[in-house]
Structure formats: structure tokens, C-alpha cells
Structure 1
Amino acid sequence: MLTYTPQAEVLSPKTHERPWALFLLCLIWLLPGVIGHAPWKPDEPHTIGIIHAMQQGHWLIPQLAGQQTWLDGPLYFQLTAVLAGWLGGWLALHDVARALSAVFVALVLTFCGGIGRELIGRRFGRVVVILMIGCLGLIVLGHTAISSTATMAGYAAAFYGMSLFKRRWIGAALALGLGAALAANTGSLHDAVVIWVIAGLLPVCFGHWRDRAYARVLIWAVVLAAPAMLIWPMMLYQHSPALLGAWWKGSVLGRLYGNGAALHWGELDFYLRTLPWFSWPALPIAAWALWDGRLTGYDRPVLQFSVLALLVIALGLVLSPIAQDDYLLPLLIPICVLAASVVDRLKRGAAAALNWFGVMTFGMLGLYIWLGWTAYMTGIPPQLARRADKVIPGFIHAFSIWDLLIGLALTATWIWAVSRRRQMGRQALSSWASGVALCWSLLMLLWLPGIDWVKGYQQTVASMKQSLPAQYQCISTDRMSADMAALFNYHGGLAVRWGANESCDLMLVMGTRDEVPPKGHWRKLWEGARPGDGRERLRLYQQFEPASIRL
């Protein structure tokens, strides 16, 4: 045969899916929560701090509260800073960053759909997209201003290139090369190495990729990626050879060695605890695909690619002493692709159980979101209203008829989606993904201002600024991360320097209710916390000379 037709395309059953329904589902899931709130811990202060420093002139080296940080490439931060400048203040910097993350997540979904189409067959790309939307780990991280969304898009583009080569080798080379370059310049060289190892092992291990077209793809992809991957290191070297050494130690070796000197198995326990819920419900279905391979054979390209990608990415994670949940994002791609390959072969009982569990879980959660909002607005029932006041103390949110109408429309859309009759496996996944989209969109529509009231630091920074002396040198920090120090600079335009600094006459201390004053001669000027936060307390101290105190 002169043309390649995936086996699954011949065997895939005819479905009655509507492309516009999938597009609507993606919009309902992706858009809420992108704009309209301040940076939230734990991830966004890091991102916003770096971008804010770039706007102040530190374009070449990502900096956080005056300290160089090398674990993330600069491209995502640079793009956000440029876009924020172009928009001219129409959107806040943190909103621009989150909008850019949403664009990269949309690219992830698009490429993942293409991977499913190429490796499994027609009408299976949408299954991969639905599985991605349903993964619990992508709900929050997919709506967060982090560079890992861009890195994940690089992985997805590269994987799409590895699957497209038999039909369009030029497009495959572009996707693989640019995807690897994007991962390197938004993540680290570690991510690019993982991509190239997977791309190189495919023809070594499996005959499907042992093809002249794939060889051309590899060659041209390297030619395209090499200049883009070398731009930043070359600019660092031109600025200072010492910076290139710092980049090599922090960006390249940082993911392997961390702060230690020996290679070890890192935070394996963290990933074993996190991955099951992070990739739910795709992971158990992917495990079933491996078991089902006894009957369908293990020589299928989708299974070979997914297993190899899973093993290489997982090996890169467990060999790193730096454990973060956003490092699991690329792992979702092969898990969802593998799970999509057996969605139509799921046991009827298992599919029915997942469908029932999804409808009941998200139906009850959506009802609770509605009841809480109604109680907050009307005071009925009073027990739930008091609970809302306790969670968001001091917050006043006016009633909006548009919030009510849009929320009702979203709920009606979910009821329509879960009541449609489809193949049981696809219906179960659609019900789960629709429930995720409903609850997330309702939460962001009805409760976003209240959540921002308790999670944001803008009120706390404004309160602290009122207690600042008329003149001071700078503000040092104690028991506070560089991310938080950068966030205070961003919200208040303050001269907060991370860590101890003898030249600073003010000190910002993060602690608990039990006050532990800094050692030396300091007097407290201010104390505060976020609304409703009973654990974290912030205190501002000013240095004084003991001789100046009159008894």
C-alpha cells in the first residue's frame, strides 16, 4: 500500500458526536478563571515575580526578588511581558500571563487530538481531548499562570510530529523541532532531552518508526530546533561566560542534581501519591489498555508510543530530586492517548459505573455550589449562610442577574450533555468531562470574587503600606520565600529583598499566630493576614538603636 491507514481507523465504530459540542465543552472548561483575579499561591507568585522583574529591565536572566532563577526558561515570561506592554494596561499583568497559559493549553488539546487521530484513528482524537479535560490535575494548573503550560505544549507538538510522519513528514518535522525548542526555552534542557530520547528510541525499538520518512523528520527537526535551543545559552555567554556556567548548573543539571552532588531517585514517593488522583480517570483506563493488549496485541503503534513515552518521562521524573506536581503535566499526554485507544472496549459494567459516578459526583458538587451561593445571597438556609461568611469574612458581593442566567445556562447544558445517548465508554468519559467543566465554570462564575478575597494578597499589601515609615532603605525578609517577596513588590511597588540584608532597616517576617520576633533590635510596625487565614501571619519590623530609647 502506498498510503498508511491506521488499523483503528478501519475498526473504529461510527459515532454521532458533534464537533461543535466538543468545541463548546472546551470553551466552557478553558475560559472561566483565566482573568479577573490576583495571583494565587503556590505557583503564580513565582511567575508574576519573574515577569515583573523583566518589565523592570531584567530580560536576559529570570530573576525573583533580586535572585537569579534558572529552573525555567525565559521564553514564557518574555512573551507575557511583551504582550502586557502591547496591551497597554488593558489587562493586568497576571491576567495576561493566565491568558497566555490558556492559549498554550488550547494548543495542547489541539495537538493531543491530532495524536489520537494519527495513532488510533478517526473519531478518537476527540476522545483524547475529553480525557485531558477530565484529568483532575489539569483543572487548576491549566488555568494558572505557569510556564509549565508552555512546556506541555512543546511536548504535545513534538509527540504530534512523531505520530504524523507517515502522512506529512514536513509538518511532522516542524512540529517535532519547534516543540522541542519550545520545551527547552520554557522549561529546561532536561525537557528537550526527554523529547529527543523518545524520538530517537522509537525507530530503535519499533518497526513502525523504522522508516525513511521518519529519518527525514528527525534530521530536519534537529536542524530546526538546534538554533532555537542555542539562542539563550549563546546570549548568556556573550553577556558573561560565568552566566553560561550558572545556566548549565541551574537549568541543565538542576533537574537532575538539584542542590546535591549525587544522582538519586528523588521524590518518588511524592509522584506515587500524586499521580493517581492527578491523572484520574485516565490512568486506570490506560492500565486496562495494557491488560487488554493480551487480546489486541502489543504491536500497535499507539501502545508502543505511549508506553515508551511514559517510561522515559517517568524515568526523568524519578531521577530528579526536585518534585513538583506541574512536572507531571507532560505525562498526561501518553496516559490519555493510551486510555483513548480502549475506550470502546471498556466493560459495560465498568463504563456504567464511571458514568454513574461522574454524574452523581459532579451533580452533587454543582448543587452544593448553587446552594452555597444562594445561601450567601439570600441568607437561606442560615446555617449555610453563616458558613459562607466564615469562609470569606468581610466580603460583600452584589447580586448579578447575569451570573444567575449564565449559571443556569451552564447547568442546563450539563444536563443535556449527560442525557445524550452514546456508546457507553464514550458516554462515561463525556459525563465526567462535562461534570468537571460544569463545576469549574460555576465555581469561577459565582465564587471567583470571594475566592480572590481570601487567596489574594492585594488587601494585605495595601494594609501594610499604610504602616510604612516616610523614609526607609529597603525591606528584608525572614521565613519568607522569594516568590512571596516578589509578590509584595508586584502588588505594592516595594523594595522587598529576599533573605537577610544588613543594609535594610525594615524586615517583613512570615510566621504563625505565635510571634517569634527577629533577633536584634527591632520593633513591630504592623501585623496582618489575608481575610479568613488563621494560620499565616505577616509582621513588619523596623530596626532601631537601643541608645535612642529613653526610659
Structure 2
Amino acid sequence: MKPVRLPAAATIALPRWGIFALCLLYILPGLIGRDPWKGDDATSFGVMWTMAHGTMADWLWPHIAGLPLPEKGPLAYWIGALSIKLFGSLMGEPMAARLMTGIFFLIGAVSVWYATYLLGRRPEAQPLKLAFGGQPEPRDFGRTLADGALLIYIASLGLLLHSHETGVENLQMALIAFTFYLCVRLLDEPNIRYSLQLGLVLGLLILNRGWVVPAALVLSLSGLCAVRAQFVKIRYVIGALPLALLFPIGWMLVLRQHHPFDSSPFPAWMEWNYRQVRLPSLDSVSYFFKYAIWFAWPAWPFAVWAVFAWRRQEKALHISLPAAFLLCFTLLAFANHSSEESLLLPLLPAISILAAFGLPTMKRSAINAVDWFAVMVMTGTAGLIWLAYIALQTGWPDKLSMKLHLLAPGFESSFQPLVFLIACAATIAWFMLVYWRISRRPSVLWRAVVLSAGGVILCWLLLLSIGLPWINQRISYATLSEELQRHITTPEACVEAYVGPSQRASFAYFGQLRFAGFSDHNCQYLLLQHSRRYSFTPEIPGHYEGKEWESIWIGHRAADKDELFTLYRRKHP
């Protein structure tokens, strides 16, 4: 028996303008007005910036100003570099690169919505017919479930930071969500057209982040068809492979033809893919369960309940397809020994869709518990952000103001009326949403997650509006890059650097340093990154003659006393 019994009044959908506004409020903060962040954000921007200002060889061989990065595929870098060339002069190069990040998020969000909508319209997903009628229409039920899935997707804590960073993972998420949508289409109505579209998306996945995920998806889909005794559909899944393989083969042939920098990233790219699959270890399994609990909140409680509630219809497509995706990516996370949050990101589209089908069967007490948790945590977090803003603007409370200035030395607060009004409007809207939810107690399905999604949007908007200047001061390398540039007396001189990729990208962009490339040797300057924790004086690499170099500068970001950079100049160039 189906576990869902609903009246039509519970399936009132969100207006389309409301969905679009929520998506914009979610994605725009963090894309506008900030510097590249330390880590993958600056690293990916560095590759895109290098391509945008380079030659054909730079487009074929991903690198940051001479530092090779062959591990991930070039697709996201190509798109970001093209965006920089088209829009960099209008909105600034970092913002132009992040423009694609926003588009990738919207593709993923729309794919999650439509995939849930199609699954929610299927006959096996419909609620039981009521004795005197009044049950919802399939289209209305599908739309309401789709709204719930999108709200859960937006509310997922693990998506928040990564969806705003410049990087490969954003495009990966969008392609995986779109793959899910195509799988719904293909399994519902198998034909050559959907098979070719699936092959196209799988090929883009290979070019973006390797062949491991596409191969695992093909195996999972084939296994799902076999479990559902739909063996005819397996040939449409397998038929997508030839088109998918054309993408890496084409890239390899172009590399062989041009042979950029007298080498090729293809062997290192293949080796990186091989390292993604090993036997599961205790560390990889424990990492998954340790971080997935908060990473997939609030989706996983609803998803677990959906599996339990629909346990007698486990072969129904709206349960079996997202479960197959979740099993696929869970096993891949177990098999990968790298402790990276990017391994958990592919779980979010499928778990959000599965969680949506748990909403109609969730008990009112559980829904209220999730709501009150969201109200307390998000309101408290927003209050702390406002308190920190007041401390920076007024100096009160004294201890908090002093602590914030110690964390970001040199920060000078300034009042921005427009930003302040936007933050106030968002806070007022949050309290209105809470009042609407508590006072009216609506029966619509998506009521269970609207506060979680609204709270995440509020906190992120506050943090990246009134808190953005302080964050830029704390994590940006802009000031340090300018200081470093002043000590290089010859602008065209090359610098051999042993620094991290994000630091190299920041120094190249902000400081306009010309780093040693693939074939540059005997540079006049040498830049080393080291840690005060181990030694104030860095150890010069063994293939350099230490007596040939003299230290001319030691610096660090004002907010990081441990990370040091030392610049050397060759005594006898």
C-alpha cells in the first residue's frame, strides 16, 4: 500500500517568480565584489586567468603561470577562461570567471526541480485516492514535490560554500544533476535521442573531472535496469558510451597534434583517475560518515524516512533511481582515500530528490523539530553576524571588536548604506517568514524545509554583504602581492617559486609576477613558502646553490602569522 494520503490543499506550489528569486538570493551573494579565496577558488581562477591571457598551448595544458595542474580535466577551465575573455573588461576578471559558477548552479537547480517533477507525476508515486475525492492531480503533486526538492537542495549545508567557489566541482554538480534528469527521461521513455544526450553529458563529465564518475554511473544505471527487469533499456545506457568516449579521445588527439610545451597532461590525468579507485579503507569510510551528517543536512533525515516509508515499493523509479545514484557515489567515496569534501558533493542532487519523497510521509512532530532547529540555529547565527558587524562599526562590545581586528589586522570599517539596507531587508524578511510558518501552520508539503532554506540564504547573504570587507581583508592575498611586487626591481624578471597553487595564482594576478614557465631557467628571483612553526628561515631546495642567493624580503598576510614567504635574489645573474 502507498504510504501517502494527501488532500489537494497540501499541494499548493510555490510561484515561479518566488523560486527564481530564491535561487538568485542564494547564488548572487559571494559572486559579487570579492577577491579570489584561498584554496580551490583561487587555484581554479589562476588556471582560467592563465588560459585567458595565454596561447593555444596554455589552453591545452592546464597550469597556473607555469605550475602544471594536469589532474582534473580542462572543461571548466575552458569555460571560465572564455568568460574572462568575453566579460573580463566589463566586470573584472574574477567576477567574469565566477559568472559561470552562477550559471552552473542554476543548471543544477533546474535539473533537480524537473527531475523531481517528472518522478512525482508517475502513477506509482501518486497519493492514495481519498474516499470522497479531493486528492491532488499528478501535475500538482509533482510540482509541489519539485519545490520541496529544490528547497532541500538549497538548504544543504555542504553545497553552500562550494556552489560559490570558482572551480571544477560546480560544473561537476550541474552535470550530475542534469544526468539524473536525463536518466529519468531515458528510463521513462527509452529512445535514441535521450541516449545520445546522455552520452553527450557523460563525455562532458569525463572532460571535466575524469572518467571514474561516468563509468560508475553507467554501471549503476545498467544494474538498476537489470534489477527492475528492464533489460531492453540497458542497451540505451550502454549506447551512450561511444559518444562519451569521443571527448577524451578528441582531446588526446589534439594534444598529440600540438604537443604543448613539448609534453602532454594526458598521462598524468589518466594516473590521477586511476588513483581515485582503491579498496575502501577505515579512514575513507570514517571520513564519509563523520562529515556526511552535516554536509547533507537537512536532506538525509528526510531521505532515510523516504526509504523506510516506501520500503514496499522499493523498485519504483522515484525511489530506486535516486537510491542507485546515492549508492554509486557512496561507494566511490569509500574507494577514494583522499579526504576531500568534493567527494561528498555528487550525493546532494540525488539525496535532495529522494528526501522530497519523504516529505509527504513525515510526521508532524518530526517536521516541527526540523523547523525549530532551523529557527534557533539560523537566527542565532544571523544574530552573531549582526553583533560582529556592530562591533566592527562602533567598537562595542570591546572584547569582540578587539578580537575581530586581531583576526584581520589592518581592517578599517566603513559604513555602506546600500549594503546595510539590503542586510536589514533580508533580516526582516526572515522574521516575516518565521511568523508566517508559526502562526499559519500551512499544510503544504514544502513547509518542512522552507525555514531551513530561508535561514541558509539569510546567513549567507549577511555574511557576504555586511561581512564581506572583513572577509576579504582576512583571506585575500591582494595586499601581500602588492608588497611582494615592490621588491622585484625588474618588472620583466622571472621568478622561480615553490609556493602553493592558490598563492601562485594570487601573486600572478594581483602582483603581476612573471613566474618561471615550463622552459624558463636561471631566473633572477626565487620565492619560497614556509612555516614559522617549523623554521623562520626556509630551506633552499637542494639543486640550488645556497651561496648564490641573498634574502631580500620576508612577508606574510597580516591575518596569518604562521605562513611565511621569503624572496631571494641571485647574487650573480
2:39 counterpart of 1:18? no
Residues of 2 paired with 1:342 and 1:438: CA distance?
25
Give the Å deviation of 1:71: 2.2
- The answer as to 2:405 corresponding to 1:378 is no
Change (3 A) 1:246 1:538: closer
The match for 2:87 is 87
- The equivalences for 1:239-250 within 5 A come to 239-240=258-259, 246-247=265-266, 249-250=267-268
Moved more, 455-464 or 168-177: 168-177
Contact kept in structure 1, 2:114 and 2:146, CA below 8 Å:
yes
Report the CA distance shift for 1:31/1:191 in structure 2 as closer, same or farther (over 3 A).
Answer: same
Alpha-carbon offset, residue 476 of structure 1: 2.3
Relative distance call for 1:78 and 1:10 in structure 2 (3 A) is: same
Cα offset, 1:283, TM superposition: 1.8
User: What is the Cα deviation at residue 394 of structure 1?
Assistant: 1.5
Q: CA deviation at 1:244?
A: 9.7
* Aligned residue type for 2:18: A
2:89 equivalent to 1:70: no
Give the alignment of 1:221-232 within 5 angstroms.
221-222=240-241, 224-232=243-251
Instruction: Mark the CA change 1:49 to 1:85 in structure 2 (over 3 Å): closer, same or farther.
Output: same
Residue equivalent to 2:166: 145
Measure, in 1, the Cα distance between the counterparts of 2:288 and 2:345.
12
Deviations 1:304-337 (A, max 9, x none): 1122111222222322344421232111111111
For the structure 1 residues 66 and 431, does the alpha-carbon distance in structure 2 shift closer, same or farther, using more than 3 Å as the test? same
Distance 2:433 2:89 in 1: 39
Does the C-alpha gap of structure 1 residues 201 and 540 become closer, same or farther in structure 2, counting only changes over 3 Å? same
1:516 aligns with 2:537: yes
TM-score, normalization: structure 1? Answer: 0.88
- The answer to whether the 8 A contact 2:87-2:93 is kept is no
Report the count of equivalent residues. Answer: 532
Distance 2:315 2:184 in 1: 15
Structure 1 segment 199-210 matched on structure 2, within 5 A: 199-207=221-229, 210=230
Aligned position for 2:280: 265
Aligned AA (2:174): A
RMSD over aligned CA atoms reads 3.1
Q: Residue by residue, what CA displacement relative to the aligned partner does 1:240-283 show, whole Å, maximum 9, x if unpaired? A: 49999851x4333413326xxx9443651433322222111212
3-state SS in 2 of match to 1:14 = helix
Taking a change above 3 Å as real, the CA distance of residues 130 and 91 of structure 1, as seen in their structure-2 partners, is same
- Residue 311 (1) aligns with residue 333 (2): no
The residue identity in structure 1 corresponding to 2:48 is: I
CA distance in 2, matches of 1:484, 1:404: 32
Identical pairs, percent:
26
1:496 to 504, 515, 539: 515
* TM-aligned CA distance change 1:291 to 1:243, over 3 Å: farther
The residue identity in structure 1 corresponding to 2:206 is: A
Is 1:183 aligned to residue 205 of structure 2?
yes
AA paired with 2:41? E
* AA partner of residue 114 (structure 1): Y
Q: Distance in 2 between matches of 1:496 and 1:349?
A: 60
SS of 1:124's equivalent in the other structure is: helix
- 1:252 aligned to 2:249? no
Matches within 5 A, 1:95-244: 95-121=95-121, 122=142, 123-165=144-186, 166=188, 172-173=194-195, 175-207=197-229, 210=230, 214=233, 218=237, 221-222=240-241, 224-240=243-259
Offset, 1:124 = 0.8
Cα pair 2:3 2:310 within 8 Å, conserved: no
Does 2:374 match 1:358?
A: yes
The letter of the residue matching 1:293 is: W
Relative distance call for 1:31 and 1:245 in structure 2 (3 A) is closer
Q: Compared with structure 1, are the counterparts of its residues 110 and 429 closer, same or farther at alpha carbon in structure 2 (3 Å cutoff)?
A: same
- CA deviations over 1:210-255 (Å, ceiling 9, x no partner): 276x4685477446544445321221233349999851x4333413
Provide closer, same or farther for how the CA distance between residues 31 and 75 of structure 1 changes in structure 2, counting only shifts above 3 A.
Answer: same
Aligned AA (2:178): A
User: What is aligned with 2:48?
Assistant: 51
Give me the whole-angstrom Cα distance separating, in 2, the residues matched to 1:533 and 1:67.
Answer: 24
Residue 289 of structure 1 pairs with residue 306 of structure 2 = yes
Compute the displacement of 1:34 (Å).
0.6
Amino acid corresponding to residue 184 of structure 1 in structure 2: I
Q: For residue 277 of structure 1, what is the aligned residue in structure 2? A: 294
Per-residue CA distance 1:63-120 (angstroms, 9 max, x = gap): 2342432222212111221221122511222212211011101100100111111223
Shift of 1:203: 1.4
Which of 449, 457, 476 does residue 469 from structure 2 map onto?
Answer: 449
Q: Structure 2: any 5+ residue segments left out of the alignment?
A: 122-141, 541-545
Distance in 2 (alpha carbons) for counterparts of 1:501 and 1:241: 15
**2-side partners of 1:241 and 1:501: how far apart?**
15
Distance 1:88 1:94, change over 3 A: closer
Measure how far apart 1:471 and its partner are.
7.2
Q: Distance in 2 between matches of 1:126 and 1:244?
A: 49
Partner in structure 2 of residue 3 of structure 1 = none
Whether the 8 Å contact between 2:280 and 2:337 is mirrored in structure 1 is yes
TM-score, normalization by structure 2: 0.85
- Aligned pair partner of 1:430 in 443, 450, 454: 450
| Unaligned residue ranges in structure 1 (runs of 5+) | 1-5
3-state SS of 2:310 partner = helix
Asked if structure 2 preserves the Cα contact closer than 8 Å seen for 1:80 and 1:97, the reply is: yes
Structure 1 equivalent of residue 30 of structure 2? 33
Which of 515, 540, 545 in structure 1 is aligned with 2:567? Answer: 540
